[in-house]
Amino acid sequence: MSQTISETNFQFPGQTDFYRGKVRDVYYLSNKLFMVTTDRISAFDIILPEPIPYKGQVLNQIAFEFLTTTSELVPNWVIDAPDPNVMAGFHCRPYPIEMVIRGYLAGHAWREYQAGKRTLCGIPLPEGLRENDPFPDPIITPATKAPEGHDEDISRGEIIRQNIVSEEEYEQLEVYTRQLFDSGSRYAQDRGLILVDTKYEFGTFEGKIHLIDEVHTPDSSRYFYTDGYEERQEKGEPQKQLSKEFVRQWLISEGFQGKEGQKMPKMTDEVIESISNRYIELYEKLVSRKFVRNETGNILQRIEKNIMNTL
């Protein structure tokens, strides 16, 4: 197995703060930050015990690609990508919510629907839907952004009532969310994929809303293959997909959903390799070019050197 990045512990000149998320390590320097995408993988808001080779590089490069191509639609935080696992950008003040948008009844939404719920984040859901059916129109189902533990569904009304985001700002977030989803859906369609659902995060920099974090990566988005979608739906078969959902389904099959008392299943070399290969497959499908495996022999030293060269 290739070397992986489980975590970083750098100390840069002028560094003012550090934050470790589920997947990313963030280094703050005044009004700038460096986001290091590690090979950690999370599911059900829990970090799994084993890192995945090349996952960080895949996520970082897909995110940089889409942040670059959508910058005319929505201002975003990125300035540059000085390393295959790193992006540098503006230090935005994040909104404590995720803007989740769903075009199809899949994943968390399906699990809620299957449990009998017909309202999600205050939005009524039609009766008679099957798993992976399209919604009449994409729905926005926000979630609170929890520093630790599980994110929670929340309605538009509650966000405004609790003054988490002002009504004016929230309306702009919805506009940006739909624009990005429409753009991502067209991009995916041109590559034989369906953008099923995704999430966007936003923040402010110098008083202006910016898109932050990642965009349309397999960690933040779910994709189906267009070819065979209708036939699989008619037969009631699972959809062929490229997303992190296959990791969740593997965990569920092993009796783990992140609930108290459940034991994390062992991640064998075969499981780890298969996850790595799926991430690389999605990169090549989305970006339409061969994934170049970056040298992993001294990965931490390489990252530190590349960041230092930009200071």
pTM of the model: 0.86
85 and 150 fall within a common domain:
no
Same domain assignment for residues 112 and 199: yes
Average pLDDT over residues 81-108: 96
pLDDT at 198: 96
**Claim to verify: residue 127 and residue 228 sit in the same structural domain:** yes
Q: Is residue 251 part of a domain?
A: no
Q: Assess whether pLDDT exceeds 80 at residue 147.
A: no
Residues 107 and 181 reside in one and the same domain: yes
32-45: average pLDDT:
92
Poorest-pLDDT segment among 112-126, 185-199, 278-292: 278-292
Please check whether residue 297 lies inside any domain of the structure: yes
Mean pLDDT of 56-78: 95
DSSP string covering 289-311: S-------TTHHHHHHHHHHTT-
pLDDT of residue 245: 75
Task: Report the C-alpha gap between 90 and 156 in whole angstroms.
Answer: 27
What pLDDT was estimated at residue 118? 95
12 located within any domain: no
**Residue 149 has what pLDDT?**
53
* Mean pLDDT of all residues in 148-161: 85
Token pair recorded at residue 200 = 């966007």
Give residues with Cβ within 8 angstroms of 181, minimum separation 6. Answer: 101, 103, 138, 195, 198
Instruction: Give the containing element (helix H, strand E) for 94.
Output: strand 93-94
Look up the CATH number of the domain holding residue 142: 3.30.470.20
- Mean pLDDT estimate for the chain: 92
Average pLDDT of the segment spanning 225-241: 94
User: Which distant-in-sequence residues (6+ apart) come within 8 Å of 83 by Cβ?
Assistant: 302, 303, 306, 307
By C-alpha distance, which of 64, 73, 59 is closest to 178? 73
Residue 128 reports pLDDT greater than 90: yes
For residue 75, the enclosing domain spans 17-93+265-308
Helix (H, G, I), strand (E, B) or coil at 249: helix
User: Across residues 237-241, what is the average pLDDT?
Assistant: 90
pLDDT recorded at residue 74: 95
pLDDT digits (tens, 9 = 90+) for 16-28: 999 998 899 999 9
| Pairwise CA distance, residues 35 & 31, whole Å | 13
109, containing H or E segment: helix 107-114
Cβ neighbourhood burial of 278 (10 Å; 0-12, 13-18, 19+): buried
Residues 242-264 pLDDT 10s: 777 778 888 998 999 888 888 99
Residues 107 and 208 in one domain: yes
Percent of the chain with pLDDT over 70: 97
Q: Which residues does 74 contact at the CB level (< 8 Å), separation at least 6? A: 176, 179, 180, 209, 210, 211
* Residue 6 within any structural domain of the chain: no
Would you state the pLDDT for residue 191? 92
Together in a domain, 124 and 232: yes
- Looking at residue 258, its pLDDT comes to 86
pLDDT value at 148 more than 60: no
Looking up tokens 């009631």, which residue turns up? Answer: 236
Classify each residue of 164-203 as buried b or exposed e, where b means 16 or more C-beta atoms within 10 Å of its C-beta: bbeeebbeebeebbeebbebbbebbeeeebbbbbbbbbbb
Residue 95 DSSP SS3: coil
Domain CATH for 270 = 3.30.200.20
* CB neighbour list of residue 55: distance below 8 Å, 6 or more residues apart: 39, 41, 275, 276, 279
Residue 1 has pLDDT above 70, yes or no: no
Residue 8 lies in a domain: no
Beta bridge partners of 212: 201
Residues 191 and 287: their CA atoms lie apart, in Å, by: 9
For the chain, the C-alpha Rg in angstroms (whole number) is: 19
Residue 141: what pLDDT? 98
Which among 244, 226, 211 has a CA at the least distance from the CA of 63? 211
**Alpha-carbon distance values, 87 to 83, 250, 299 (Å):** 7, 31, 15
Does 234 lie in the same domain as 107? yes
Q: What is the pLDDT of residue 150?
A: 60
In this predicted model, what pLDDT tens digit does every residue of 252-300 receive, in sequence order?
A: 989 998 888 889 998 889 989 988 998 898 899 889 899 998 776 789 9
